[in-house]
Amino acid sequence: MKKLFKIVLFLLAAGTVYAAEFYTVNLTRVEQDLYRDTITRGYIQTEYCYVHVYNDEAVLKYDRYSYDNFVIFSDGDKCKVKAVFK
């Protein structure tokens, strides 16, 4: 599982701007388009994301001033991220 995330992270970093930040998060779905990171207890608001997960390890690409933020779940599903907050 960790090897998969390293490969995904490398492929994403190769095609994106260097200012973007990548994070490993453990997500649990709270409600539609709202996920909670079980480690930091922060929230991730998505857009039209229908992935049902419980404590799922995912990769988050987030830059505060970017409109191209997304999260990739362990099964490969990718969702656009609108906001990250506590």
For 43-72, the pLDDT digits (tens) are: 999 999 999 999 999 999 999 888 999 999
Token pair, residue 36, equals: 């909670």
Q: In CATH, what class is 2-85?
A: mainly beta
The residue extents of the domains of the chain are: 2-85
pLDDT of residue 17: 47
Mean pLDDT of 16-42: 87
- Residue 71 contacts residue 27 (beta carbons within 8 Å): yes
Higher pLDDT, 21 or 55: 55
Q: Which of 80, 57, 64 lies closest to 6, judged by CA? A: 57
Angle CA 70–6–50, to nearest 5? 30
Question: Contact at 8 Å (CB) between 19 and 63?
Answer: yes
